[in-house]
Structures are given as structure tokens and as C-alpha cells.
Structure 1
């Protein structure tokens, strides 16, 4: 298989992994385990894996300097601990389709954060894109369609998902200098360790008190999926693909994730798609498209950050 085909295969597999999680997580939450318990298992598993592998692959590589150490702590708090607590809390309350649509706001947040932190130029098209995406997100959040008997707290869940996408958008901007300076496993080991410190106080009780003996086989399989595939495998594939893929190609796969999530959710009977949701998706996708249009002579670092794929 040619290298370009391997890149496409890796990015498509990551998109499928993320998309399937929206529906599979609903099987586990909240009957078998609460969202914070799932986050604890997921982050602890990834922290252990990346900690061991980083010592084997890059034993001499260390994050040095006060600025980089502070940056790594912020990445762990915002991009791992806070991001995951918000995501699974929101998904626990809202529908898979609404959650997947709101996740596409992340690239817009990246542009805003890049303008503030990296002083990237915001053009008129990007302002229009931010407004358009904001309208789309607002219609999803305020929609009562998912707020019936199945999702009585959908509005709260939608807000959590929006905050999750915002947190990860900021994370994508502040983690870029670390990824370019140190070995990826060194960075991942550090930020997942910090993320564990953030998440465990919220989820240790849920992880320890869950009635594991009552878990059917498919629930065990879905928990293993969230730890191994959703966290470890997705991060590994994304980091490998980033060595060869262009930012534009990565942007395409951002848009693919919610489409796959809709197909999977509808196929499994976890949710249903309507013309109202199609309009909401069009508003958000249109906003993301306008925001992702690069201004002339845009900084390379900012361009890469804007289109880096969303990780949950």
C-alpha cells in the first residue's frame, strides 16, 4: 500500500472510531457507569500506556523550562481532563447527532484562539463564518427536538458539548509548540498524567463502585473500545498521519466525523435525523468552511492548528 493510501486509511479509521463513540457510549451511560467513571478509566489507561511507551521510545526526552512545563500542565487540564469530563457529561444528556454536530465548532474556536494567542489575522470571511457557525450551534443547543422523554436535559448536555469543543479548540492552539519541540510520546505522557490528576478526583468513586459483575459482554467490549481505540489508537494514528498529511486533508476528515456519526446513530436506532438537523448541520459546516479559509500569508503554525483533527 502506498504511503498516501495509508494516510487516508489511518484518517478514515480515526473518523470511524470517533463517530462510533457517540452511539456506543450511550449503551454504557448512565445505566452501567456514570460519565466521570468512564473518563477515569479512559484517561488512566492512556496515561499508563503513554507513560510506559515514552520511556521505551524516547527515554532521554524531557519537557524543559518553566514556560513549556506550564504549557504542558495547561494542555493536560484543558485538553485532556476538562475536555473529557465535559464531553462525556454532555453526551450523557444529549443525543449522539447533536453532540457530533456541536463538535464541529472546534475549528472555529481554534481560529478565535489563534487570533488572541498567536495574533493571527481574522478576515471578514472568517467573521461571517464565526457568526454562521454560532447561529448553527445556537439552534442545536436551543432545539427542543432532543429534549423530550429520551433526553430531558438535552439543553444542558448541548452546552457541555459546546464547552468541550471550546476547550479542545484552545488546546489545539497551545499544544502545537510542544508537539513541534518534543517527541509526541513525551508530550502525550505528560498531558495525560496531568489529565488523570484532574479527572480522577471526579470519577474515582464511579469507577470503583460500578457493579462490574453485572456488565454483559458487549458493555465490556465498549469500555475496552473507549480506552484502547478511542484514546490510544486514535492518538497514535493521528500523530503518524500528521507527518505526511496536509492540513487541508485533515480538515476534510473533521467534516467526515459527524456524517459517520449520524449514519451509525441512525443505523443502531440510537437517534433519528430530520430536515431541521440537516439545516443546523449546513449552518455549522458553512461556518467552519468560511473560517477555515486561510488569509494570505497566514502563519504556518496557525494554519496547521486550525485544521488539526478533533480528538475526544
Structure 2
């Protein structure tokens, strides 16, 4: 009996550890997946793939990939799709996909993966500003939580400005030999991708992309209260965005040959971004949010910057400079300030039911800043 009791206790303890470990592993792997998209997208555009053409193909493939989830998982539970719901999804497609991804990939094409990834971390701060304007959030300057959110937002914006407009000396970390064996062979353009960097246009478009993505959060927060079918929403949004991006892409790129996925890297980048960073990422993040909460998922965002910087240095021979390092540090610090303030505020107003959570799960508010389905258009 004693041996049986000890064995049962060990199994329960092991299961608990496994339950804690799996969301962590899933989120780390997801950040690696997003970093891979950064690299592949940059290589594909260096190979001549137009950003809007790339976004169009991504939405087409994403629609195909997410449709089975919407059909099989929400066929019986999906609310009625009204004209109001369709209009809100249409607005989501304009802001979250056409505006966000279109501007993002043009910015990435005129920048570097590390800069693009660093500026993506400003998203929670920009969303907080829009949420205040649309009265979905309050400043609460008389509370520590409100002060943390405001200061974190200002630090985030300051870090983004520093990263965008100050470069400083290069940080000598040596050169990677992988670049010439891998990246150059996968691109048709033999010029180093750093020659395409525009240190004003690229960051500026990336900031506009974050603003568009933030507006998506505001619209999505309202949509989710009346239409709780995230897979269906994602599928319809990608479908609408496919048409929108195709129209804009046709206006921007008149050459029919530019729409041909005539190289391996173009096909791989389009399929990878749609399947891994749209369909699969949505499922993984939804599961992790259910298990650990929205805040737990969001705090892994800065890890993407580190992974992308390493891969960019190794595969694209991207140079790191003082401005990138200082700006990224401020952005990450500001991000955690906003998240900490949001978490403390959530506990103060009673969003978290302390009787139903474990002590180590206290930082898990159901925050509108980090909504349940923001993953499909990331990047």
C-alpha cells in the first residue's frame, strides 16, 4: 500500500510537471517558427517576390488551411453569421491583414528581420493607446497599475524611436560561415540583403503596421462578444483578405510574371507562413491561452527578437549595432511594464478568480490587449 501510494504520488507529480512544461515548450517552438518565417520571408522578397503578392498567397493558403478547423470544430456551435458580423470581419481583414501584413512585409523588405521583430514588440503599447482613445481602457494615473501602463507605453515608444533613427557603431560578433552556404544559394539576388535597408522607410512602415494591427484588436474585442467562433472568423477574414490583397497587388504589380512562384524559396515562404504562422500557430496559442492564460502567452514575444537576431546573423549575415540593442532593450522593458500594469489592474478589479488558480498562475488576466485570436496575421 505504501509503495502504491508513493507510486501514485510520483505519477501525479510527474503529470503536473508535464502539464507545466508542455505550454512552455509549445510557446518556445512557436517563437522559433515565427523566427523562421522572418528569415524565409526576407529571403523570398530578396529573390524578387513582391510583398503584396506574398501576402495574397499567404492568405489564400491560410484560408485553405483554417477551413477544416472552422468546418469540423464549429459546425454545430457557430452563431448565426449576420451582415453586422460580416462587416466587422471585413474591417478586421482591412486592418489586421491588408494593413498589418501589407505594411509589415513592405517594411521588412526595406529593413531587416531583427528591426522588424523588435518593432513588433511595440504592439501592446500602441494597442493600449488606441484602447484608451476608444474607451476600452482607462489611464488610472492615480494607481500604480495605471502608472506602470503609461510609463511602459512611453518607454516602448521611446525604444522604437531610438531603434528607428539611431544606429550607432556596429557590435563586433564576428561573421557566420553559414550565410554563403545557405542564404545566398536560396536567393536569386546575389547582393547582400543589407544593401536594401532603408533606415527611415522600413521602420516607419513597420510602425504603421503595428498601428493597423492595434486597430484590429479594438474591432476584434467587440466582434468576439457577439460572434464567438474564432476559427470561422479567421477563415472568413483570410478569405476576404485574399481578395483585398489580390486587388491591391494587381494595382501595385502589373507584371504577370511577378505572380509566379517560380522558385523554391517563394513557394516555401508562402506555404510556411500560411500553415505554420497562421493555421498551426492559432491552434497552439489558443491551447496555451486556455491552459495558462493570455499574459503567459504574450510574455514570450521578446524571445522572438532574440531568436530572429541569432538566425539573421547566422543566415543573412545581418550586422548588429548599438541602436538595435538599446532600442530593443527599451521596447522589451516597456512591454513588461505594460503587461505588469495590466496584470495588477486585472487583479485589483477582480478579473481573476483567485480561488480557481494556483499561486504560480497569478499573472493571467483575460486582457483585451492580448486577445485570444491575434495569431493568424502576426508578422
Q: How would you bin the TM-score normalised by the shorter chain?
A: 0.7 to 0.9
Report what 1:36 is aligned to: 52
Give the whole-Å Cα distance in 1 for the aligned partners of 2:286 and 2:256: 32
Q: Deviations over 1:42-98 (max 9, x none)?
A: 011112332344223323424544543332221111112211111111101001111
Output the aligned Cα RMSD.
2.8
Report what 1:236 is aligned to: 283
Structure 2 contact 162–323 (Cα < 8 Å) conserved: no
Structure 2 contact 299–336 (Cα < 8 Å) conserved: no
Alignment of 1:1-312 (within 5 A): 2-60=18-76, 61-65=78-82, 67-122=84-139, 123-143=146-166, 150-179=195-224, 181-204=227-250, 208-210=256-258, 212=260, 214-215=262-263, 217-292=264-339, 293-294=341-342, 295-296=344-345, 297-298=348-349, 300=351, 304-308=367-371, 311-312=378-379
Total equivalences in the alignment: 310
Q: Deviations over 1:164-206 (max 9, x none)?
A: 1121122123223444642221111122122223211122557
Structure 2 contact 128–369 (Cα < 8 Å) conserved: yes
Taking a change above 3 Å as real, the CA distance of residues 97 and 299 of structure 1, as seen in their structure-2 partners, is: farther
Point out the more displaced range, 93-102 or 133-142: 133-142
The gaps in structure 1 that reach 5 residues or longer are none
The gaps in structure 2 that reach 5 residues or longer are 1-14, 140-145, 171-192, 353-364
Taking a change above 3 Å as real, the CA distance of residues 199 and 131 of structure 1, as seen in their structure-2 partners, is: same
Q: For the pair shown, which has the larger CA radius of gyration, 1 or 2? A: 2
**1:213 Cα shift?**
7.4
Taking a change above 3 Å as real, the CA distance of residues 207 and 200 of structure 1, as seen in their structure-2 partners, is: farther
Structure 1 contact 121–298 (Cα < 8 Å) conserved: no
Give the whole-Å Cα distance in 1 for the aligned partners of 2:72 and 2:96: 24
4+ residue stretches of structure 1 with deviation over 4 A? 204-208, 211-214, 298-303
Taking a change above 3 Å as real, the CA distance of residues 91 and 152 of structure 1, as seen in their structure-2 partners, is: closer
Taking a change above 3 Å as real, the CA distance of residues 299 and 90 of structure 1, as seen in their structure-2 partners, is: farther
Q: Deviations over 1:119-145 (max 9, x none)?
A: 322222322222211111112222356
Taking a change above 3 Å as real, the CA distance of residues 118 and 242 of structure 1, as seen in their structure-2 partners, is: farther
Taking a change above 3 Å as real, the CA distance of residues 167 and 126 of structure 1, as seen in their structure-2 partners, is: same
Q: Deviations over 1:271-304 (max 9, x none)?
A: 1223332111111112212222225335859852
Structure 1 contact 37–207 (Cα < 8 Å) conserved: no
SS at match of 1:182: coil
Structure 1 contact 179–187 (Cα < 8 Å) conserved: no
**1:4 Cα shift?**
3.2
SS at match of 1:154: coil
Taking a change above 3 Å as real, the CA distance of residues 270 and 178 of structure 1, as seen in their structure-2 partners, is: farther
SS at match of 1:273: coil
Give the whole-Å Cα distance in 2 for the aligned partners of 1:63 and 1:143: 51
Point out the more displaced range, 79-88 or 58-67: 58-67
